[in-house]
Chain A
Amino acid sequence: MAANAQGIAVGAAMENFSLPDITGKMQTLDGLKGKNGSVVVFLSAQCPVVKAYNERINLIAADYAAKGITFIGINSNSTETLDFVKSDAAIVGYKFPLLIDKGNVFADKLGAAVTPEVYYLDAKNALLYHGAIDNDRSGKVITDQYLRTAFDSSLAGKKIERTKANAFGCSIKRVAK
């Protein structure tokens, strides 16, 4: 679990990064973030858990785009070709840019390990919440909306009570080293 041991602590600032999107255009965190922050979400074109979450992710992204929080999708899976990722993104219809992390360099830097896995950053790129989107993969019996609750607390100027929550998901498929 070496990759999981690294990472960024809640409260620490994420460095600005630059990655190509699925069209090949370079994008940066500072260029994509909203006035009230951003969410870096690790995705996969193949992972069934991500597929189960895609509709929810798009809904949350749409709800909070209007409140100044933007989503940035990242695909770090070495097993997924660009064509596969592009075709899946077209089917899903992500409402936000999807960036390619070739060689999983960015995932390694953050210690990201799961899909889906989110990093919610404030306007200064400080990490406010890290981990799962909610507490039910199936979406049928969600009793804790971790990410939405973190957004709402932050936007209301309140303390985020739960800043970290893990959930079972797919492994980011890393390149062999």
Chain B
Amino acid sequence: MFKFSKFLARATTCAALAFVFCGIGFAQGKPSTRKTVKSAKVGSTTVSKVTQINIDGLKKLLKPSGRPLLINFWATWCDPCREEFPDLVRLDAAYKGKIDFITVSLDDLADINTSVPKFLAEMKAEMPAYLLKTPDESAAITMVSKDWKGNLPLTILFNSAGEITYSRNGLVKYDVATAEIDKLLTTTTLPN
């Protein structure tokens, strides 16, 4: 017997899954904007959208957009990365609309639909989230900063011209980060 309620429930779940994961794996190199939907309900679980990028995608993300850019490089296997995440979420809330803030995960690609979005959802993180997969991590690391060796976490602030004005290679210090962002914002003219 056809049960419409079951059909509807299944259709809703399928639509939600497609909504969440349709961009994964197909959006390499395309930076999202802050208007992008970052999470959705799948059944009773909220998962965050994580977009896979390669080195070209990272390059595009690093391209100056006219306003300050804060990037956090992290991984679920990195204890201090997980530890500092609540402060990153606080920073995002404090500067939403004033700066661009994105996170780049260095987890395995196999984790892009599992542990990475799960952790971001637990943190209630709303920053656009990416996962970098490249066979030449060395080139990616140097592209971010010539002084960086790839040790996580790294939180790095670029001014509107794409120059590094602050970086923290270790647990982020919230007060220091806000002072650096404030300092940068006082000298930045935001685009219309």
Partner-B contacts on A (CB < 8 A)? 1, 3-5, 46, 48-49, 113-114, 117, 131-132, 135-138, 141, 143-144, 164-172
Contacts and interface: CB of A to CB of B under 8 A. Distances in A.
A135 B137 contact: yes
A167 B148 CA distance: 10
Contact of B167 (A1, A117, A131, A164): A1
Contacts of A164: 138
B75 interface: yes
A168 B150 contact: yes
Nearest to B154: A1
Given A49-B77, A165-B138, A167-B138, A4 B147 contact: yes
A113 B147 CA distance: 11
Nearest to B164: A1
A28 B158 CA distance: 43
13 contacts: A1-B145, A1-B154, A5-B147, A164-B138, A165-B138, A166-B137, A166-B141, A166-B148, A166-B149, A167-B137, A169-B150, A169-B151, A170-B78
Contacts of B153: 171
Contacts of A144: 135-136
Contacts of A167: 137-138, 141, 150
Interface of B: 73, 75, 77-80, 106, 108, 135-138, 141-142, 145, 147-154, 167, 169-170
Contacts of B108: 137-138
B75 A166 contact: no
Contacts of A135: 135-137
Contact of B75 (A117, A132, A136, A168): A168
Given A49-B77, A113-B149, A166-B141, A171 B170 contact: yes
A113 B151 contact: yes
Given A1-B145, A136-B135, A170-B78, 17 more contacts: A1-B148, A1-B154, A3-B169, A4-B147, A4-B151, A114-B151, A117-B149, A131-B138, A135-B136, A137-B108, A144-B136, A166-B141, A168-B150, A169-B151, A170-B152, A171-B80, A171-B153
Given A49-B77, A137-B108, A168 B147 contact: no
B151 A172 contact: yes
B135 to A, nearest CB: 6
B143 to A, nearest CB: 11
A145 B149 CA distance: 18
A143 B152 contact: no
A166 to B, nearest CB: 4
Contacts of A165: 138
Nearest to B75: A168
B165 to A, nearest CB: 14
A4 B152 contact: no
A92 B23 CA distance: 40
Contacts of A166: 137-138, 141-142, 148-150
Contacts of B73: 168
A4 B154 CA distance: 12
A41 to B, nearest CB: 14
